[in-house]
């Protein structure tokens, strides 16, 4: 497709070249700095969570009737009787060594709980993202071409109206509707768990449809704009076949803007798994965190919030890198 | 202000949304009053009953009517959502405007914090705060409110930054008025409107988020109930009574949609003037007429000299306009021979660029091209596009566009964009095509071509890009280069380089050139023959050598006179052509130039003069004027108003 026969510049050049002259190196340094700051904020906030809870979180967790010595023992187990700086350092050290503490309810190491639950959530999010992109890109490109300037006013109106309405439906409500139609009325697909391949269909689609439609809208608008651009006329002047013009020249330029919004959608999708997992009894982090919030199992909640946060940060980083690869100008741009 | 808001309500979407919002609010006020007792009534005989005439949406596990409970739950759901959005807006406003009040350093820190928080999805923040504030309605309101704050803070920051840049704020600051006072007096009133609009949209989202938390069991707790709580209970019994989950779900969706649409239509109504885009819709027109051009073209082909590269007869371009079709090109005929350089000059709007796009078949789909004949190297360009024709055109017809800044694809390397021609049309391997791209860039005098092919367009200067564009045309072996204002967007210093390059290519390889320009001097310097266009027609076709001395059309002579030269008195205002160019949508009868022409008479306003060789003029010189060659009166003494007046 977009044939680049020249190898991309290596991120690190030979010694002696100045950093300023190498956009990739500057981009990497700037982006890494932002990632580290965000990560530090995230870790600190997740640490602070238990301390922000008004009153005594342990008393709150165990209930007013719990004996005082049990509360005291629990406080000690959580390390809450140490000075706060010591607690913070302890927390950081734990993170560095993969020790996320112990669940107050199940007494299992939190790291084990996360390791056991993370794959299901990860698979769900990644599949939903792939489906969203696989739907959004062709839909956006095709509607963009159909509604380019001077064409398809009615198609445009129909598409815009439908997409606004579909995009407003929250994923969990869509999930409930899908459960009713395909699970109960038609009985075609399982509505709970992740044991079989068909069980993936409904959760993945409840998560994917909203972002897919929003993304398709953005790609359409971008395509309509890009198809008016001079370089598309140049591509036509080169008498390239239509599919090369649309896919090779117009799409990469439409996607760069879509990616920025796509990144936000993707991180929202990561969070959206929490609700959808609860609709479909999906054995992932989302159902675990809700149960842990209800049982006040703070170490587990803390760890899962951290995992989601890291997921969001990685997503944002991936989007920025993809942007830099697709649009050579974006890595020069300062924020 | 009032008028703008009523305009919002008058659009169909706006009206629907307004009605929905009013209905939801009315239900919130009246629901508990009307049905409060009915919703709480326990009917042990009808536990978990399916929908029936008595209970339209069935009953729950205590035999209470689902529909009544959904109606009653409107108040709690809406109140909680509004509380949450209020918290979000207030916190956002404080966080977002604080950088302005605090000044540079701490302001920047705060802004950076907001930027980090905004990167995290609202639901994640809401879960975090739900842990901190505890499970329940109060905790959930705080959680959703605070989770929404970063987005509003970001919005406020952007809006404040926009207002602060305005003069009156700078003036207030210069007068030494305190920042807090400026914020309250000058800034906040100016950002209130977009904030309110976004808060309305936000109310819909808050409602949906709140439902989400209650649905997870983290929001409203029994015995209170909102829509989310009903949904939570309903999904547990979805196999017994699906309506118990579907009805609250539908209620949430409808209310959320109402707020969203209301906000969106208000935003649209306030930002964009109503009624835009309601112009005439031209139904799907084919760019290429299906019926073939007149057979006369075929027979004439035999008598035509074989060195004709491009043959254009009676070319017309029609584009849809707001008041019916417009014809910016009205019957243009000319031919271009091998190695010949033709210049097309005229003011903007004269149809010269349209002609260029039409003869190269690059006019976008909304324009329609008709001609008695349009042939390039003997190929009929009016016939439908084929792969064979694309290959021929791709290798023998080169284009150079006006703005080299935008004519290259910004996301691809220059080399790849050149090589594409060779891989697609000449069957070259990527390696061979890449080598040819380097060779061609060197041919257009781009220094260090092997390194330059690896660069992106933004790393090239304007003049270099235009040369690269010409180099792209040389990837094949062009018989014709069509250059549409190739130097207009360039610095004066590099204009000459580009023109010299075009001339050199033409000389070296006998390539024909069609050069389109508004600049008579440029065209006169480069071209052999000049076509002067006015209002979509050629008004004069003359050898470039005759331009200054022997032009016969009053318009051509006016164009030449408008060019300052060494003898121009700089103290005098520069010569201009009085009146304005003809609007293509409203071309007058007769000669289109008559209204601006000092020689125009009654015949000019009645009959359009044909383009013919003058009886006493040289054979290569055609002119469309009833008064060709007559002496012009002195320019002074003519009144502007009289000139633009239509007959």
Q: Final residue of a domain: which of B516, B534, B552?
A: B534
> Is a pLDDT exceeding 50 seen at residue A7?
no
Give me the percent of chain B exceeding a pLDDT of 70.
88
Same domain, A35 and A182: no
Give the residue from A64, A97, A130 where a domain finishes.
Answer: A97
SS (H, E, C) B294-305: CCHHHHHHHHCC
Q: Are residues B505 and B548 in the same domain?
A: no
How does pLDDT run across A20-57, given as a tens digit for each residue? 456 777 878 888 888 898 899 889 888 888 788 877 77
A45, B146, B589 from B116: Cα distances, Å: 12, 14, 66
What mean pLDDT value characterizes chain B?
80
Q: Are B266 and B322 within one domain?
A: no
pLDDT, position A99: 84
Residue B529 confidence (pLDDT): 92
Predicted local distance difference test score (pLDDT) of residue B28: 87
Backbone φ and ψ of B613, nearest 5°: -75, 135
Pairwise pLDDT comparison (B230 vs B60), residue with the higher score: B230
Read off the CATH number of the domain in which A157 is found: 1.10.3720.10
Say yes or no to pLDDT of B531 above 90: yes
Beta strand B529-534 with B537-543 is antiparallel
Could you say which residues from 259 to 288 on chain B have a Cβ atom under 8 Å away from some Cβ of chain A?
260-261, 264, 281-282, 284
Model pLDDT, residue A328: 66
Residue B280: inside a domain, yes or no?
A: no
Region A145-159: mean pLDDT is 80
Tell me whether B566 touches chain A (CB under 8 Å). Answer: no
**In the predicted model, what is the mean pLDDT of residues A134-153?**
84
Helix axes B243-271, B2-10, angle to 10 degrees: 130
B172-225 tens-digit pLDDT: 777 777 778 888 887 888 788 888 888 888 888 888 888 888 888 888 887 888
Query: Chain A partners of B281 at a C-beta cutoff of 8 Å?
Result: 153
Q: What is the pLDDT of residues A285-296, one digit of tens each?
A: 988 998 888 888
User: Does one domain contain both A136 and A277?
Assistant: yes
Mutation for B interface: A144, A148, A173, A271, most B CBs within 10 A: A173
Domain encompassing residue B23: 2-43+55-270
A102 lies in some domain: no
CA distance B610 to chain A (A): 33
Which residues of chain B are within 8 Å of residue A148 when distances are taken between CB atoms?
364-365
Q: Going by DSSP bridges, is the β-strand pair B379-380/B397-400 parallel, antiparallel, or unpaired?
A: unpaired
Are A174 and A250 part of one and the same domain? yes
Alpha-carbon distance B231 to B246, whole Å?
8
Q: What is the mean pLDDT of chain A?
A: 80
Question: In this prediction, what percent of chain A has a pLDDT beyond 70?
Answer: 90
What pLDDT does residue B304 have? 47
Residues A178 and A73 in one domain: no
Suggest the residue from A1, A2, A5, A327 to mutate for an interface test with chain B (most B CBs closer than 10 A).
Answer: A5
> Is-contact B29 B280, C-beta < 8 A?
no
Whether residue A280 sits in one domain with residue A159: yes
State the nearest Cα–Cα gap between B11 and chain A, in angstroms: 14
C-alpha span between A287 and B215 (Å, rounded)? 12
Q: Which helix (H) or strand (E) holds B232?
A: helix B227-236
Chain segment B550-606, per-residue pLDDT in tens: 888 888 888 888 777 666 666 666 667 777 777 877 788 888 888 888 888 888 888
Confidence of residue B424 (pLDDT cuts 50, 70, 90): confident
Q: Give the end of a domain, one of B512, B534, B556.
A: B534
- Give the residue among B194, B207, B193, B44 at the shortest CA–CA distance from B140: B207
Instruction: Give mean pLDDT, residues B220-239.
Output: 84
> Is residue A71 in a domain?
yes
Regarding whether A157 and A56 lie in a shared domain, the answer is: no
- Looking at residue B85, what is its pLDDT? 92
Q: What does the pLDDT look like over B606-620, one tens digit per residue? A: 888 888 887 666 677
Residues B218, B135: contact at Cβ < 8 Å? Answer: yes
CB distance B64 to B42 below 8 Å: yes
Q: Quickly state the pLDDT bin for B342 (edges 50, 70, 90).
A: very high
Position B513 scores a pLDDT of: 92
Q: Which of B120, B218, B408 faces A293 most closely, judged by CB atoms?
A: B218
The CA distance from B380 to B375, in Å, is 5
Torsion of CA A102, A105, A107, A112, to 10 degrees: -60
Q: Which residues contact A324 (CB under 8 A, 6 or more apart)?
A: A24, A27, A330, A331
Does B124 reach chain A within 8 Å, measured CB to CB?
A: yes
Judge whether B403 is closer than 8 Å to chain A, CB to CB: yes
Q: Give the pLDDT of residue B361.
A: 87
The CATH number of the domain holding residue B138 is: 1.10.3720.10
A260-269 pLDDT, tens digit each:
777 777 778 8
CB B566 within 8 A of CB B641: no
CA distance B260 to B52: 33
B13, closest residue in chain A (CA to CA): A161
Which residues in B lie closer than 8 A to residue A303 (C-beta atoms)?
none
pLDDT tens readout for residues B85-109: 999 999 999 888 888 887 778 888 8
Contact with chain A for residue B215, Cβ under 8 A:
yes
Inside any domain, residue B50 = no
The encoded tokens of residue B644 equal 């633009």
Domain count, chain A: 2
- The verdict on a CB contact (< 8 Å) between A180 and B401 is no
Quote the CA–CA distance of B445 and B449 in Å, as a whole number: 9
Q: Note the pLDDT of residue B573.
A: 67
CB distance A149–B261 less than 8 Å? no
pLDDT given for residue B341 in this prediction: 92
pLDDT in tens, A197-233: 787 888 898 898 888 888 888 888 888 888 888 888 8
CB atoms within 10 A of CB B554: 25
Q: Is the pLDDT of residue B279 over 60?
A: no
Q: Is omega for the bond preceding B223 within 30 degrees of 0, making it cis?
A: yes
- At residue B312, the 3 state secondary structure works out as strand
Q: Are residues B138 and B194 in the same domain?
A: yes
Pair of tokens at residue B485: 């204002």
Q: Across-strand partners of B380?
A: B375
Contacts of A27 (CB under 8 A, 6+ apart): A324, A331, A332
Flag if B453 and A6 touch (Cβ within 8 Å). yes
C-alpha to C-alpha distances, B505 to A91, B443, B479, B481, nearest whole angstrom: 72, 10, 11, 10
With a CB cutoff of 8 Å and minimum separation 6, the contacts of B328 are: B317, B319, B349, B351, B354, B536, B584
Q: Could you tell me if residue B284 is inside a domain? A: no
d(CA A82, CA A71): 15
Which of A244-258, B415-429, B531-545 is predicted with the least confidence, judged by mean pLDDT?
A: A244-258
Enter the ipTM. 0.81
Instruction: Work out the angle at residue B621's Cα, subtended by the Cα atoms of residues B617 and B622, and round it to the nearest 5 degrees.
Output: 100
Q: How far is B334 from chain A (nearest CA, A)?
A: 21
Does any domain span residue A335?
no
Which residue, B284, B289, B286, B282, is CA-closest to B370? Answer: B289
Distance CA B554, CA B532 (A): 11
Cβ–Cβ under 8 Å, residues A204 and A124 = yes
Judge whether A56 lies within some domain. yes
A72 assigned to some structural domain = yes
Interface contact B256-A170, CB threshold 8 A? yes
Q: Please say whether the beta carbons of B590 and B605 come within 8 A.
A: yes
* CA dist., res. B256 & res. B202, Å (int): 10
Dihedral of CA A63/A65/A68/A73: which sign?
A: negative
Q: Is residue A144 part of a domain?
A: yes
Residue numbers in A near B120 (CB within 8 A): 267, 309, 312
Those of residues 104-123 in B touching chain A at CB distance below 8 A are: 112-113, 116, 119-123
- Amino acid A335: pLDDT: 42
Residue B431 lies in a domain: yes
- Give yes or no for residue B272 having a pLDDT over 80: no
Could you count the other beta carbons within 10 Å of the beta carbon of residue B641?
7
Beta strands B308-321 and B537-543, pairing class: unpaired
How many structural domains is chain B composed of? 3
**Average pLDDT, stretch B65-70?**
83
Average pLDDT (B489-518) is 87
Question: Do A156 and A289 sit in the same domain of this protein?
Answer: yes
B395, part of any domain? yes
Q: Are B312 and B333 spatial neighbours (Cβ–Cβ below 8 Å)?
A: yes
Strand partners, B482: B399, B514
Q: Which of B245, B270, B295 is the last residue of a domain?
A: B270
Query: How far, in Å, CA of A323 to CA of A38, rounded?
Result: 20
- pLDDT exceeds cutoff 90 at B137: no
pLDDT tens-digit map of B362-402: 887 667 888 888 999 888 888 888 888 888 888 889 888 88
Q: Are B69 and B32 in contact (CB under 8 A)?
A: no
Convert the pLDDT of each residue in A116-126 to its tens digit.
999 989 899 88
- The average pLDDT across B412-430 equals 87
Residue ranges making up the domain that contains A224: 117-294
Contact A234 B407 (CB under 8 A): yes
Q: How do residues A295-306 score in pLDDT, each as one tens digit?
A: 888 888 889 989
pLDDT band at B276 (very low <50, low <70, confident <90, very high): very low
Higher pLDDT, B625 or B294: B625
Cα gap B355→B376, rounded to integer Å: 14
Share of chain B above pLDDT 90, in %: 8
- Do B124 and A309 lie within an 8 Å CB cutoff? yes
Tokens at B418, concatenated: 């050149």
Let me know if residue B124 belongs to a domain.
Answer: yes
Q: Name the residue with tokens 């409930």.
A: A176
Residue A87's Cβ-side half-sphere holds a number of Cα atoms within 13 Å equal to 17
């Amino acid at each position: 497709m977009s044939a680049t026969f020249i190898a991309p510049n290596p991120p690190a050049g030979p010694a002696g070249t100045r950093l300023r002259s190498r956009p990739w190196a500057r981009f990497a340094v700037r982006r890494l700095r932002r990632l580290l700051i965000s990560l530090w904020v995230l870790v600190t906030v997740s640490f602070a969570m238990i301390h922000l809870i008004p009153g005594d979180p342990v008393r709150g967790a165990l209930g007013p009737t719990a004996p005082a010595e049990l509360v005291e023992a629990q406080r000690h187990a959580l390390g809450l009787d140490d000075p706060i700086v010591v607690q913070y350092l302890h927390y950081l050290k734990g993170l560095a060594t993969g020790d996320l503490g112990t669940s107050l309810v199940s007494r299992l190491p939190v790291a084990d709980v996360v390791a056991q639950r993370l794959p299901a959530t990860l698979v769900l999010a990644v599949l939903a993202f792939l489906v969203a992109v696989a739907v959004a890109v062709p839909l956006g490109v095709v509607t963009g071409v159909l509604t380019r300037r001077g064409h398809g006013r009615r198609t445009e109106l129909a598409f815009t109206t439908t997409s606004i309405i579909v995009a407003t439906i929250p994923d969990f409500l869509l999930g409930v509707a899908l459960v009713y139609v395909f699970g109960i009325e038609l009985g075609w697909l399982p509505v709970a768990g992740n044991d079989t391949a068909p069980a993936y269909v409904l959760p993945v689609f409840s998560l994917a449809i909203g972002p897919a439609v929003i993304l398709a809208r953005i790609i359409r608008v971008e395509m309509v704009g890009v198809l008016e651009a001079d370089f598309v006329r140049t591509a036509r002047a080169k008498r390239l076949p239509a599919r090369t013009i649309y896919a090779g020249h117009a799409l990469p330029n439409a996607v760069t803007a879509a990616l920025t919004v796509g990144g936000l959608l993707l991180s929202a999708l990561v969070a959206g798994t929490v609700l959808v997992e609860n609709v479909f009894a999906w054995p992932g982090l989302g159902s675990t965190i809700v149960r842990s919030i209800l049982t006040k199992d703070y170490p587990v909640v803390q760890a899962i919030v951290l995992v989601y946060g890291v997921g969001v940060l990685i997503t944002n980083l991936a989007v920025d890198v993809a942007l830099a690869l697709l649009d050579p100008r974006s890595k020069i741009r300062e924020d | 202000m009032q008028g703008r808001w009523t305009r919002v309500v008058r659009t169909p979407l706006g009206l629907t949304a307004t009605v929905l919002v009013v209905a939801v609010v009315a239900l919130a006020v009246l629901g508990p009053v009307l049905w409060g007792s009915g919703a709480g009534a326990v009917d042990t005989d009808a536990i978990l009953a399916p929908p029936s005439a008595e209970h339209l949406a069935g009953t729950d596990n205590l035999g209470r009517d689902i529909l009544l409970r959904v109606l009653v739950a409107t108040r709690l759901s809406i109140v909680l959502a509004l509380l949450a959005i209020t918290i979000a807006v207030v916190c956002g406003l404080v966080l977002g405007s604080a950088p302005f009040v605090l000044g540079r350093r701490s302001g920047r820190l705060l802004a950076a914090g907001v930027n980090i928080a905004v990167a995290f999805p609202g639901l994640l923040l809401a879960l975090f705060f739900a842990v901190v504030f505890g499970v329940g309605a109060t905790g959930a309101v705080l959680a959703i409110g605070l989770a929404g704050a970063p987005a509003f803070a970001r919005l406020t920051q952007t809006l404040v930054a926009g207002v602060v840049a305005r003069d009156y704020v700078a003036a207030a600051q210069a007068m030494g008025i305190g920042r807090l006072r400026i914020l309250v007096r000058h800034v906040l009133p100016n950002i209130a409107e977009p904030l309110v609009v976004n808060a309305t949209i936000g109310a819909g989202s808050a409602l949906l988020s709140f439902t989400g938390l209650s649905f997870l069991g983290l929001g409203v707790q029994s015995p209170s109930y909102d829509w989310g709580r009903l949904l939570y209970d309903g999904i547990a019994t979805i196999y017994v009574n699906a309506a118990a989950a579907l009805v609250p779900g539908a209620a949430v969706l409808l209310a959320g949609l109402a707020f969203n649409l209301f906000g969106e239509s208000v935003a649209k109504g306030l930002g964009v003037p109503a009624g835009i885009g309601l112009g005439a819709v031209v139904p799907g027109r084919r760019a290429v007429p299906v019926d073939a051009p007149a057979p006369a073209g075929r027979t004439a082909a035999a008598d035509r000299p074989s060195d004709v590269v491009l043959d254009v007869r009676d070319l017309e371009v029609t584009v849809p306009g707001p008041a019916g079709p417009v014809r910016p090109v009205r019957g243009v005929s000319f031919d271009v021979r091998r190695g010949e350089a033709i210049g097309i000059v005229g003011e903007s709007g004269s149809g010269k660029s349209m002609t260029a796009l039409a003869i190269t078949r690059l006019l976008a789909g909304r324009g329609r091209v008709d001609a008695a004949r349009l042939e390039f190297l003997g190929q009929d360009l009016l016939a439908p596009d084929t792969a064979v024709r694309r290959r021929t055109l791709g290798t023998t017809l080169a284009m150079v566009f006006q703005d080299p800044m935008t004519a290259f694809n910004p996301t691809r390397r220059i080399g790849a964009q050149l090589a594409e021609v060779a891989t697609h049309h000449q069957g070259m391997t990527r390696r061979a095509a890449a080598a040819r791209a380097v060779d061609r860039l060197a041919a257009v005098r781009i220094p260090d071509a092997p390194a330059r092919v690896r660069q992106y367009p933004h790393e090239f200067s304007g003049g270099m890009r235009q040369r690269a564009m010409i180099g792209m045309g040389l990837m094949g072996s062009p018989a014709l280069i069509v250059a549409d204002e190739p130097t207009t967007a360039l610095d004066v210093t590099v204009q000459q380089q580009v023109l010299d390059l075009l001339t050199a290519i033409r000389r070296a390889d006998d390539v024909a050139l069609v050069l389109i320009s508004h600049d008579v001097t440029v065209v006169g310097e480069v071209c052999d023959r000049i076509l002067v266009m006015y209002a979509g027609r050629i008004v004069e076709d003359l050898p470039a050598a005759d331009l200054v001395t022997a032009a016969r059309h009053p318009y051509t002579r006016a164009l030449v006179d408008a060019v300052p030269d060494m003898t121009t008195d700089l103290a005098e205002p520069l010569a201009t052509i009085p009146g304005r160019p003809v609007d293509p949508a409203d071309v007058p009868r007769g000669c289109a130039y008559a209204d601006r022409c000092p020689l125009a008479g009654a015949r000019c306003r009645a009959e359009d003069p044909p383009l013919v060789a003058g009886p006493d003029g040289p054979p290569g010189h055609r002119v469309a004027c009833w008064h060709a060659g007559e002496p012009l009166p002195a320019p002074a003494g003519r009144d502007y108003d009289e000139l633009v007046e239509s007959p």
